[in-house]
């Protein structure tokens, strides 16, 4: 075994332990696929990453580093919170990007640009391929989630490396009150995300909204109240039992593809903030912005919670 630099980073939050944790092995050199997978299974986090030098092709194209991303059950070609968390850890450990305000990450999906927005990082959402799911699959997934047909406004199969099913629902309350059948979902899709836009409410209605959420979540009411104060406009949940993640606290790759779909179809504004993790006692915030060229950027804060070394 080799002692390697290691960080555990909380992503999509500026407050430790309210976002999505990520294990980052800052030197994955010499580790086999099986060793990486074994460690990711042991950490039991939604993702564990291994930072490596870029490939010759990646370096020639401007990559600053390469990352491999593992869930407890397998490797992903791309994921959002591992992208931001690995970049945060790499910079904090002394990584020096070639460009002043942009970092280029190489991963299995290709090169991903990351920019600094003050103290926050944001990645350029990879190109999205999307299609309509089959009515039969949609009906089965709806049943596994406990949804009625009229509660689903729109649905798309979303592919930006990983392939997820996305559902736009009728209200945030519907999203937050779901009690999925994880065993049924595991046999149907690799991952499914649900979302709903918050209605535009006058300030006088914010108290009734937070009370509604407190009733929905009981012990998590304080987290719900903080969401109201932060003014999130989209409520999101994501389930991926097929890759060992029952419910993910905050999901960057899904939020990236979701934003590209919703903005393109006029179902969401070009700039908004998504809330995710309420039902897990988290307060994740995903900052979405589409620039003048049409590129969607997915931003979030990150904070290091564990800083040390690991034997691998």
By annotation, the residues acting in catalysis are 47
Distance CA 275, CA 18 (A): 12
Distance CA 113, CA 83 (A): 10
Distance CA 242, CA 283 (A): 24
Q: Give the residue from 249, 267, 298, 278 showing the smallest Cα distance to 167.
A: 267
In the chain, beta strands by DSSP E = 3-11, 20-25, 48-52, 65-71, 74-76, 102-107, 110-117, 120-124, 129-131, 152-159, 163-169, 192-197, 234-239, 271-276, 284-290, 296-300, 302-311
Report yes or no: 16 and 305 within 8 Å, Cβ to Cβ. Answer: yes
CB count within 10 Å of CB 204 equals 7
Distance CA 195, CA 237 (A): 7
Q: Rg (Cα) of the chain, in Å, rounded?
A: 19
Q: Is 239 helix (H, G, I), strand (E, B) or coil?
A: strand
């Amino acid at each position: 075994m080799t002692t390697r630099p290691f960080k555990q980073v909380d992503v999509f939050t500026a407050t430790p332990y309210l976002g999505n944790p990520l294990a980052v092995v800052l030197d994955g050199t010499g580790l086999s696929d099986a060793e990486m997978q074994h460690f990711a299974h042991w950490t039991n986090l939604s993702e564990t990453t291994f930072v490596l030098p870029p490939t010759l092709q990646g370096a020639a194209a401007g990559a600053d580093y390469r990352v491999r991303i593992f869930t407890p059950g397998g490797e992903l070609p791309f994921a959002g919170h591992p992208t931001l968390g690995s970049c945060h850890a790499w910079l904090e450990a002394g990584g020096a990007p070639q460009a002043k305000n942009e970092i280029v990450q190489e991963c299995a999906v290709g090169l991903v640009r990351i920019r600094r927005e003050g103290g926050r990082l944001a990645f350029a959402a990879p190109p999205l391929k999307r299609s309509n799911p089959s009515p039969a699959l949609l009906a089965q997934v709806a049943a596994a989630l406990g949804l009625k047909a009229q509660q689903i406004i729109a649905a798309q199969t979303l592919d930006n490396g990983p392939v997820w099913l996305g559902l736009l629902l009728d209200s945030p309350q519907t999203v937050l009150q779901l009690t999925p059948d994880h065993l049924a979902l595991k046999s149907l899709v690799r991952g499914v995300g649900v979302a709903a836009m918050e209605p535009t409410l006058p300030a006088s209605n914010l108290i009734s909204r937070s009370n509604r959420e407190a009733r929905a979540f009981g012990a998590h009411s304080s987290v719900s109240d903080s969401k109201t104060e932060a003014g999130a406009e989209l409520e999101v949940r994501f389930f991926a039992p097929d890759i060992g993640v029952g419910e993910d606290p905050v999901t960057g790759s899904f939020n990236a593809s979701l934003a590209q779909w919703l903005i393109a179809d006029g179902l969401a504004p070009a700039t908004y903030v998504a809330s995710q993790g309420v039902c897990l006692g988290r307060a994740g915030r995903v900052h979405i912005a589409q620039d003048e060229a049409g590129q969607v950027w997915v931003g979030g804060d990150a904070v290091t919670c564990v800083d040390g070394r690991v034997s691998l």
